Structure 1
Amino acid sequence: MDERARIPVSLPCANPTVSYWQDPPDELADHRSTAELPDTADTVIIGSGITGAAVAWGLLQGPNPGSILMLEARQACSGATGRNGGHTKAASYRTFAHHTQSHSRAIAKQIARLELRNIRAVHAFARAHAVPCDLHPCDTLDVVYDPAEWAAAREGVAALRAAFPPFPSDRRYTLYSREEVLRRFPVHDGVFEGREERVQGGVGYFAGSLSAYKFGIGVLRACVERGLNLQTGTAVTGLVAVSPAAAAAAGKERWEVSTERGVVRAGRVVLATNGYTAGVWRQFQGAVVPLRGQVTAQRPGQGMPAGGCLDRTYSFIYGRGYEYMVSQPEGSRFAGDIVMGGGLARAQEEGLMEYGTTDDGAMNGEISQYLRETTERYFGPDWGEDDPDGRVRSEWTGIMGFSPDGFPFVGEVPGESGLWTSCGFQGHGMVLCWECARALVEMMEGRDGEELREWFPDVFRITQERMAQRFRGRLDAIPKDGESN
């Protein structure tokens, strides 16, 4: 893992796989608000995914937002936001005990609250601004196949229930026995590499799904209408702090942002670059490690209930790994399609070679084959015969960003005045990005006081000590206590 973490991080590749969500691309995909880059900007945001869009939106709500320039290496919203499954799901019960033991119960509660608030905020923005993103608030079900994971799930639910009395309706957790899962839901025992994997039980709770691409585009469109200068196809090739003397002469412009289209001087810069962050600012090498994820969109089997338009989302949890699944709701372009992501832990060396790569123009053939087989494995007889046009409609990859301690980095980069970031979301950006961006805007605007600390976890704040930790891989894949390495 040390070797993978040391691979120099590149900028986004020029020819990525075609994401299901970006086919066809939105009319904003290649947008440039002005024909030429401005010479200066008060704020430059690098990256146009949910984080960049949410930061821009937050700044634009202020009384004096100044000039905001957003630079995107490829098309708008073409990174992880436009490539993930759109699962607005916070499995807080799976991490609550770990956060309590590693930090404190108060911090664990802050994180759980933030995750739920993030889901609510994303759903609320989509409704309030009529963003056409196939929003589907619904329950979810985690189907657990591993005895140790099932024991941990029951303990986690009990801990959350004890921490949040009375339990709010959208934070409720329902435990289902093996018999209840098999009776009530279209899931079954499966076989992997000749070994039977038996359902142990399930956990149900509030979640939802949407097209993260369409949502991100919707936020960007609202920002452009309010004055954001969006420049796509404009990769950042250099970022340097202006010398104190030059900065004094230039005024408030403290950063020089270089692109192939020219140089922009900025008062402050925001790295909304997640897995690519070290490609822009090398001090993040080994602190935010890219990890390539893989997703398939599958036409529903002919036996699937409601034609595949299921009433909830799913995750399938086994020892050291999981898959997540959403179905496209009624009224969407491909209603009933099953979007399945994951499979990393099933690959050779548990997906070791996917760490450190920023090449979302290629796929892992082993993971492709595995994901193609997951729907029939998990849904069993309820899947039925494949669609006459074939099971797989689309498959693609995307780049996530992981930190050594499993938390995002949010705040002003240590020792670099005016350089800000919100990155490293551990593959859970849909339940972290929005609220982390809101916190970052508060910090940038000088409102970093007790009110912010009441709701935003200190463990998310960027520090030199956190950046210097050794990267070990996905923390949610580290064995549970009592398991062998």
Structure 2
Amino acid sequence: MDERAKIPVSLPSENPTQSYWQDPPDPIADLRTTEQLPSTADTVIIGSGITGAAVAWGLLQHSEPGPNPDGLGASIVMLEARQACSGATGRNGGHTKAASYRSFPAHASTLGVPAAAQIAQLELSNILAVHAFAREHGIPCDLEACNTVDIIYDEGDWAHACAAVEAMRAALPPGHPAAEYTLYSAEQARARFHVHDTHFGSKEEKVCGAVEYFAGSLSAYRFCVGVLRMCLDWGMNLQTGTPVVGLSRDVTATASTTDVVGGDGGDGVGAMWTVHTPRGAIRARRVVLATNGYTARIVPRFQGVLVPLRGQITAQRPGTAMPNGGCLPTTYSFCYKKGYEYMITRPQGSRFAGDVIIGGGLAREPDEGLLEFGTTDDTAVNERISRYLREATPRYFGSDWGDDDPAGRVRSEWTGIMGFSPDGFPFVGEVPGEKGLWASCGFQGHGMVLCWMCARALVEMVEGRDNEQLRDWFPDTYRITETRLAKKFEGRLH
């Protein structure tokens, strides 16, 4: 793992595999709000995924809505190396699923029960906030609030799940929604969720039980694009096809120079940042890294600390025997020793209703997917993982899958780049020793239940409201510290 973590992080690759969600791309995919790159900005946000969009929206709530007449000296400029929302947000599995019980015992052991409970509550709050925002603003993203189920194929994992659920129920107030789980025996799970015992290689894997709880699904791409459109209406300047190739700080900046791009906002005399791109440079009072697995390419101190990991997903046409034409009432995870697959089905009324979106398979790789760490190449797929995911659906659903669709089982497959930290927690806050450089990144493939609330917390910090009210709901363990940046990366946790 040491050697994989040392691989220099690159810029996002050109011509990535096409995500199911980005077919076709949204009309703003290649938008440049102004023909020329603005020369100055109050805030430059690097990255146009859900984190960048949520941070922009939060900051814009304290500005006057409406476009800047010439786009120069704009309040917020967002830079994206490729198309808008072309990174992990636009390439994920469409799940809003916390599975907090699976990590709760480890969090309780290392951080204490109150901190573990706070993390579980934040994850549920993130799901509810994303769903509420999509509904409130009418964002057409095929949002489906529903339950999810974890089908567990390992006796040790099943015992762990039962114990973890009980621990969460004891730690949280009675009836708290973050601790609402329903447990099913193996027989109940097979009957209720249409799943079967399986084989992997020569090893038989039997259903041991199931855990059901609240989650949901959506097109994260369409959700994010919807938020970006709202930000554009409020005057944000979006510049796609504009990779950041360097970042420098003017430590001699004075209050008069910060006034050029919006004043010091209560920060006092601070450094000016210059963001370098192939199209020119932007001077800004502050920079926000919404770059997840690519962060170390821009800020080298994250190299070997925030490590990319390539994930893979397929979209499959439902088998002919799948109930409700494949539009299942729950989403799924299939959990086995040291690994899992995650799955949603496309809801009624959506394009390709009933399609099965399934990702994972990393733990079935040699050395548990070691060679997928450190790579930022999303232009190709891993053929072994492709074969595994293609075969996963009839293996899990057995006779309830039926025959393949006459058009073929697989509609599309693609890869995406995630970002992982040594301790399994995101990095949120101001980069130590780098005044005006902020980050929210490293979501461990768990972004849809972390990004929104982490962005909200970052906005509070940026705007000087880093107080006890924030600490009541935002975990201290997510904050960037020198100690965390010095930790050694050893692989995925939880």
Which category describes the TM-score, using the shorter chain as reference length?
Answer: over 0.9
Task: Output one character per residue of 1:263-321: Cα deviation in whole Å (capped at 9) or x when no partner.
Answer: 00000000000000001111100111000000000000000000000000000000000
What pairs with 1:53-452 in structure 2 (closer than 5 Å)? 53-63=53-63, 67-169=75-177, 171-244=179-252, 246-247=253-254, 250-251=257-258, 254-452=272-470
Task: Output one character per residue of 1:126-174: Cα deviation in whole Å (capped at 9) or x when no partner.
Answer: 1011111000000000000011111110011001111123223564100
Compute the displacement of 1:248 (Å). 5.8
Write the distance in 2 (CA, Å) between the matches of 1:293 and 1:185: 26
Q: Percent identity?
A: 68
SS, match of residue 213 in structure 2: strand
Compute the displacement of 1:86 (Å). 1.3
Compute the displacement of 1:256 (Å). 0.3
Compute the displacement of 1:185 (Å). 1.4
Compute the displacement of 1:243 (Å). 3.0
> For the Cα contact (< 8 Å) 1:43–1:270, is it kept in 2?
yes
Counterpart amino acid of residue 235 in structure 1: P
Write the distance in 2 (CA, Å) between the matches of 1:247 and 1:25: 43
Write the distance in 2 (CA, Å) between the matches of 1:363 and 1:248: 50
Counterpart amino acid of residue 3 in structure 1: E
Partner of 2:24: 24
Write the distance in 1 (CA, Å) between the matches of 2:303 and 2:22: 29
Compute the displacement of 1:463 (Å). 0.3
Write the distance in 1 (CA, Å) between the matches of 2:59 and 2:305: 27
Task: Output one character per residue of 1:154-197: Cα deviation in whole Å (capped at 9) or x when no partner.
Answer: 01100111112322356410000111101211100000011110
SS, match of residue 33 in structure 2: coil
Normalising by the residue count of structure 1, what TM-score does the alignment of the two structures yield? Answer: 0.96
Normalising by the residue count of structure 2, what TM-score does the alignment of the two structures yield? Answer: 0.95
- With 141-150 and 165-174 compared, the bigger mean Cα shift is at 165-174
Compute the displacement of 1:419 (Å). 0.1
Write the distance in 2 (CA, Å) between the matches of 1:473 and 1:310: 33
Write the distance in 2 (CA, Å) between the matches of 1:108 and 1:475: 15
> For the Cα contact (< 8 Å) 2:51–2:451, is it kept in 1?
yes
Write the distance in 2 (CA, Å) between the matches of 1:22 and 1:183: 35
Counterpart amino acid of residue 158 in structure 1: E
SS, match of residue 236 in structure 1: coil
Task: Output one character per residue of 1:64-113: Cα deviation in whole Å (capped at 9) or x when no partner.
Answer: 79700000000000000000011000101001111010011111011001
Write the distance in 1 (CA, Å) between the matches of 2:356 and 2:54: 28
For structure 2, list consecutive stretches of 5 or more residues without a partner in the other structure: 66-73, 262-271
Write the distance in 1 (CA, Å) between the matches of 2:423 and 2:177: 31
Partner of 1:12: 12
Task: Output one character per residue of 1:26-67: Cα deviation in whole Å (capped at 9) or x when no partner.
Answer: 001011111111110000000000000000000011247970
- Structural RMSD (CA): 1.2
Write the distance in 2 (CA, Å) between the matches of 1:446 and 1:247: 20
SS, match of residue 245 in structure 2: strand
Counterpart amino acid of residue 88 in structure 1: T
> For the Cα contact (< 8 Å) 1:171–1:206, is it kept in 2?
no
Write the distance in 2 (CA, Å) between the matches of 1:16 and 1:36: 26
Write the distance in 2 (CA, Å) between the matches of 1:298 and 1:92: 28
Counterpart amino acid of residue 466 in structure 2: D
Counterpart amino acid of residue 470 in structure 1: K
Write the distance in 1 (CA, Å) between the matches of 2:64 and 2:30: 28
Write the distance in 2 (CA, Å) between the matches of 1:167 and 1:161: 8
**TM-aligned CA distance change 1:170 to 1:331, over 3 Å:** farther
Write the distance in 2 (CA, Å) between the matches of 1:172 and 1:289: 33
SS, match of residue 120 in structure 2: helix
SS, match of residue 441 in structure 1: helix
